[in-house]
Amino acid sequence: MKHRTFATMNKKVHLQDLGLKDYKETWDFQELLFQKTVHLKIKNRRQETNEQTPNHFLFVEHPHVFTLGKSGDINNLLVDKKKLEEKDAKFYKINRGGDITYHGPGQIVGYPILDLDNFFTDIHKYLRLLEEMVILTLAEYGLKAERSEGETGVWLDVGTPFARKICAMGVRASRWVTMHGFALNVNTDLGYFDLMVPCGIKDKAVTSMNVELGKREVDMEGVKQKLLRHFEILFGADIEKQRTSA
For residues 83 and 195, the answer to whether their CB atoms sit within 8 Å is yes
In three-state secondary structure terms, 181 is strand
- Of the residues 199, 209, 223, 227, only one is catalytic, namely 199
Give the C-alpha separation, 101 to 99, whole Å: 7
C-alpha dist (Å) from residue 138 to 144, 166, 213, 218: 7, 10, 11, 12
Measured from the Cβ of residue 203, the count of other Cβ atoms closer than 10 Å reads 7
Type of residue at 97: G
Partners of residue 205 on adjacent β-strands: 164
For residues 49 and 43, the answer to whether their CB atoms sit within 8 Å is yes
Binding site listing for substrate:
96-103, 168-170, 181-183
Say whether 199 is catalytic. Answer: yes
For residues 83 and 192, the answer to whether their CB atoms sit within 8 Å is no
DSSP secondary structure letter of residue 118: G
Q: Judging by beta carbons within 10 Å of its beta carbon (0-12, 13-18, 19+), is residue 77 exposed, middle or buried?
A: buried
Residue 145 CB partners (closer than 8 Å, separation 6+)? 134, 135, 138, 139, 154, 155, 156, 166, 167
Q: Which residues are catalytic?
A: 199
